[in-house]
């Protein structure tokens, strides 16, 4: 009798295609999504979009907002709940786990 782990290893080493084929992986789209501070905050929602003008005047572009710290946002008089949301979603955006839905722009 062959142990189960040997049977599994034989199926992966055989010449047949692996059970995890490329159909499970998506390909990148030919579009570039343009994201700025207004699109980012509007996608977060929950009242955060009310701070667009303050944040655009202070940071200028999204990349500077993505590395902002809590104290900087606190000095701009942004409430605690909104600071937490901005920091949470900026971390997800940096890791590539979340993207705001916005208009697609052709390259």
CATH of the domain at 93: 1.10.150.50
Interacting residues of 49 by C-beta distance below 8 A, sequence separation 6+: 38, 41, 42
The residue with tokens 């692996």 is: 18
Q: Give the domain extent around 80.
A: 32-106
Given a cut of 50, whether residue 42 has pLDDT beyond it is yes
Residue of 18 and 82 predicted with greater confidence: 82
- Tell me how many domains the chain contains: 1
Residue 62 pLDDT > 60, yes or no?
yes
From CA 54, how far away is CA 51, in angstroms rounded? Answer: 5
List, in sequence order, every residue forming a beta bridge with 106; answer none if it has no partner.
Answer: 31
Is residue 1 one of the residues assigned to a domain? no
Q: How confident is the model at residue 10 (pLDDT cuts 50, 70, 90)?
A: low
Give the single-character DSSP code of 24: G
The answer to whether position 54 is within a domain reads yes
Please, how many CA atoms are within 13 Å of residue 6, restricted to the half-sphere of its CB?
A: 3
**Domain assignment present for 80:** yes
**Average pLDDT of the segment spanning 77-104:** 86
Q: Flag whether 25 is in a domain.
A: no
Q: How confident is the model at residue 36 (pLDDT cuts 50, 70, 90)?
A: confident
The pTM assigned to this predicted structure is 0.63
In a domain, 9, yes or no: no
Q: If you average pLDDT over residues 50-79, what whole number do you get?
A: 91
Over residues 30-55, mean pLDDT: 83
């Amino acid at each position: 009798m062959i142990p189960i782990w040997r049977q599994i290893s034989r199926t992966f080493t055989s010449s047949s295609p692996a059970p995890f084929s490329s159909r499970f992986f998506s390909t990148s789209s030919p579009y570039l999504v343009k994201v700025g501070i207004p699109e980012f905050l509007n996608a977060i929602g929950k009242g955060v979009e009310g701070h667009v003008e303050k944040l655009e005047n202070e940071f200028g572009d999204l990349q500077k907002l993505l590395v902002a710290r809590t104290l900087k946002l606190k000095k701009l008089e942004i409430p605690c709940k909104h600071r937490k949301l901005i920091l949470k979603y900026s971390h997800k955006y940096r890791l590539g786990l979340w993207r705001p839905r916005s208009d697609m722009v052709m390259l």
